[in-house]
Each structure stands twice: as structure tokens, then as C-alpha cells.
Amino acid sequence: MACNTTPTASDVALNESTPSPGASYTPLPAPLRRSLVIIMVFMVAVGFFGNAVVCLLVYQKPAMRSAINLLLATLAFSDIMQSLFCMPFTAVTIMTVKWNFGAHFCRISAMLYWLFVLEGVSILSIISVDRFLIIVQRQDKLNPHRAKIIITVSWALSFCISFPSVVGWTFMEVPARAPQCVLGYTEVPADRAYAVLLVVAVFFIPFSVMLYSYLCILKTVRRNALRIHNHAESLGLSQVSKVGPMGLQKPHQMNVDMSFKTRAFTTILILFIGFSLCWLPHTVFSLLSVFSRQFYCSPSFYITSTYILWLSYLKSVFNPIVYCWRIKKFREACMEFVPKTFKVFPQVPGRTKRRIQPSTIYICSETQSAV
């Protein structure tokens, strides 16, 4: 054990139930624990149902099996797995202040946690690179076959990176200081190197790739918007409005396209911001846990880890909430899966589908970016 394992009298007094032997920490107050557990149960329900809608849409409708939709379905599947195989055990441990599932399963749950997180951030990075190639480089190279190969490779790499945690190649303590197996303080160089590799693969590399891609996309969109605006002004509004369908676009049509492109980009940008806010604290927390004995052995470590883990799990339910908020087609799909008995409002007919060329206007349409 990395810390002094003798519990203090104040630690025991703060527990409603007897803590695990050798634990020295300050748990959350009982009312706050119950509130967090209730919220986590709601998160599991939202994460499962919302992401299942994405998977069912892609599975049931062959027309929806485009490359980008396959990536989004994989992202949704990884979030479903995390909601089912990680969050419930953490919620039980938060409530009981005790790990009841054995040391071996603790390591398995840690491996699954990192596996699903790595796959999720890998898919987000692949999507950002695909959008960068289409919008900035005007190269549409991703097709369903290539997407399936990329998905397979990403799962394999994610498994290879997360596997050492289950075979004991790195220090992971059975939850006495956290509500699930987390990276613990160690002075072994190999363990520290693995911890750095893990946080770099989970956060720093995906964050850098997505940040660069979206900054380039934003720059391109702004430049195109300025070019269209200047072009319309040079021709004059009256002259442009007289041009027929075979000529230049009317100002109203250009404004609609720019609004359409801006909204699609905003949706993807929100997903990126959500990923950053949920995982930046967890990254800092993991590095401090491994390299700072004082931080890892502090009595408040349990409380800090509980909040940090809760925030990281929020990422698995963030995507479907954004889809429901920003994308009308996703809201209509959700209504299709709701039993008729619970439907209060009449179903609205879906919008007319249209085909567009990726190189002509902004590719990140609502139909393509989120089924």
C-alpha cells in the first residue's frame, strides 16, 4: 500500500457503514452520496437510451450506414458499454463507501473504463480529422469500408493500451481511497511511464488533434463567409437576385447555406468543448495521483476522486443530450422509439432529404454529423 492504512477516529465517525479494512479517507456525507447516486442512475438511463437510438438508427436503416454514421455509432456503443459496465459499480461503491466486487474485478473494471474511454476519444479524433480533410483540404477519402477498418484498428489499439491495468503491470489499488480502481501513487519508473502514456493517449493527443482541426475549420469557414459576403457586395444585391438557377446563387440562398454550415460546426465544437471540460480535470487528477504522494495520501483524496470520476462519466451522456438539443432529426428518431402510449404531441413528418457534394459546401450537415 502506498499510504498509511490506519484509519483515524474521525474517518470512522464520518462513515455510516464500516469502511473497508485499512482505509484512511474522508467520504462524502450521506445525503450528498445519495444525491450523486440518483444523478448517476439518471445518467445511466440517458446514456443508454440516447446512445442506443444512434446505434439502432444505423443498424436498422442501411441508408444511414455512411462512414461518419458508422463512426458515430461506434462512439455511441462505447458510451453504452461504459454506462452499463462501469458506472453502476461506481455508484454502488459511492453509496456504500466500500468496494464489494473483489480485487480482480476491480482491475477488470479499470481496464474496461480505460478501454471505452480510449475508444470514444479515438472516434472523436478520427471525426475531427475527417472534417479537416473535407473542409480544409477538400479531400473526401473516408468511405464505409475504410471506416470499418479504422474502427477495428482503434478498438485494437485501445485494448492494447488499457490491457496492462488488468494484469497488474501498473499500480492500481482496490478502492479504499476512491470509488473505483484508479491510478495510484508509485515510484516505479515503468508504472509512471505507463500512467503518462495512458493520459497522453486519452487526453493530450486527442485534444491536440481536435483543437488543431477545429481551429483550421473555423478559419476556413470564416474565410469562405467573408469571400461570399464580398462577392455579393461587389455584384450588388439587385443584380444577384436576378440571376437564374443556372447562374450565381441568390443572396438568400447563400445566407441559408452559411447559417446551415455554422450551426453544424457549432454542434461539433460543443462536443469538443464537452470532452475537454470532462477530461481535463481527470487528466490532472491522474497525474497528481501517480506522482504526488501527498495528494494521493491526503484524507480528501476520496472526495476529490468521487467528483472527478463523476465528471468523467458525464461525457458518456453528453453526446446524446447535444444531439437532442441541436439536431431535429435525432429528436424525431427518439420519438419513433417512444411507445405510442407515452406520446403527447403528434409526430411531425421528417424533412426532405437532399444530397450535397462534400467539396461544394460545408460537409458537417446535421444529417451527416449525427445520423
pLDDT digits (tens, 9 = 90+) for 139-151: 888 888 999 999 9
Distance CA 281, CA 286 (A): 9
CA 126, 128, 132, 138: dihedral to nearest 10 degrees? 60
C-alpha cell at 113: 473504463
| Residue 140, domain member (yes or no) | yes
Longest CA pairwise span in the chain (Å): 84
pLDDT reported for residue 337: 67
pLDDT reported for residue 264: 60
Closest CA to 322 of 260, 262, 256, 366: 366
Residues in a beta bridge with 173 = 182
Higher-pLDDT residue of 49, 368 = 49
pTM of the model: 0.76
Q: What mean pLDDT do residues 339-366 have?
A: 45
Spatial CB neighbours of 214, under 8 Å, sequence gap ≥ 6: 128, 268, 269, 272
168 φψ region: left (φ > 0), alpha (ψ -120 to 50), beta (else): left
DSSP-derived 3-state class of residue 355: coil
The DSSP element (H or E) to which 289 belongs, if any, is: helix 251-291
Residue 201 is given by DSSP the state I
pLDDT reported for residue 265: 64
CATH number at residue 205: 1.20.1070.10
| Residue 132, domain member (yes or no) | yes
pLDDT reported for residue 125: 92
Distance CA 300, CA 241 (A): 66
Closest CA to 194 of 202, 278, 151, 175: 202
Residue 246 is given by DSSP the state T
**What type of residue is 40?**
M
**Alpha helices for 5-66 (secondary structure H):** 9-14, 30-60
Higher-pLDDT residue of 47, 338 = 47
- Is the confidence at residue 77, as pLDDT, over 90? yes
**Within 13 Å, how many C-alpha atoms sit on residue 319's CB side?**
32
Distance CA 41, CA 125 (A): 29
| Residue 350, domain member (yes or no) | no
- Is the confidence at residue 85, as pLDDT, over 80? yes
Domain carrying residue 169: 23-232+266-334+360-369
- Is the confidence at residue 15, as pLDDT, over 50? no
| Residue 284, domain member (yes or no) | yes
Pair 361, 354: CB distance under 8 Å: no
For the chain, percent of residues with pLDDT exceeding 90: 21
| Residue 251, domain member (yes or no) | no
| Residue 130, domain member (yes or no) | yes
| Residue 254, domain member (yes or no) | no
Number of domains in the chain: 1
Residue 341 binned pLDDT confidence (cut-offs 50, 70, 90): very low
Residue 316 binned pLDDT confidence (cut-offs 50, 70, 90): confident
| Residue 12, domain member (yes or no) | no
